[in-house]
Amino acid sequence: MSLDQKTRDELREIAARYPEARSGLLPMLHLVQSVEGRVTPEGIEACAEVLGISAAEVNGVATFYTMYKRKPVGDYHVGVCTNTLCAVMGGDLIFERLKDHLEVGNDETTEDGTITLEHIECNAACDYAPVMMVNWEFMDNQTPESAVQVVDDLRAGNEVHSTRGPRLCTWREAERVLAGFPDDRADEGPAAGPASLAGLRIAREKGWTAPAGESKGESK
């Protein structure tokens, strides 16, 4: 696919949001992925042209961050956390089960183009370990069986909800949201869960409060 005029106009729209246009490069790359399914050479050139920088600079950013892909991603990017805590809690077992079930390896896509499987680093959700993410939405407290059910439902076209977020959309749709074009799903689902709020609950029960900050010029 090639970048149409609408996409090029939206790239300029993103760049115009920032005092320094090049600050818009990250969401611009997400927009490229939403259209082409990956960061393509044409997308790199288009971003460079809009920002007035070299293609090498854009390529350096696109190859640094793992959220930017250089080969096509399936309809659903399934990322299994295999960092220390999630791995100990069962993340490694989940990843191995999904590889066998989907008949793919790491960073590979199923033959039907539906699921891309990848083991990923910490999702900052250790209180819900082991965690899996689908298009960057949380699927908490997973087991090998529940993870298989999620991917089977996605492949069957069934509606799937994040455990702490909205209905799951496709990877390209999620990439467009990351580019700064909301899909009006931000308020679907809870923003936090009991495990994340445990400390706050205990503090309220015990009447704990944070120390008051010192005023300017105040000395000990």
Q: Which residues are annotated as a binding site for [2Fe-2S] cluster?
A: 81, 86, 122, 126
Rounded to whole angstroms, the Cα distance separating 151 from 103 reads 12
* Residue list for the binding site: 81, 86, 122, 126
The residue among 82, 103, 77, 80 whose CA lies nearest residue 169 is: 77
For 137, the token pair is 């939405």
**Is residue 211 reached through a cis peptide bond, with omega within 30 degrees of 0 on the bond before it?**
no
Q: For residues 159 and 109, is the Cβ–Cβ distance under 8 A?
A: no
Distances (CA, A) of 125 to 24, 82, 84, 121, 164: 27, 12, 12, 11, 11
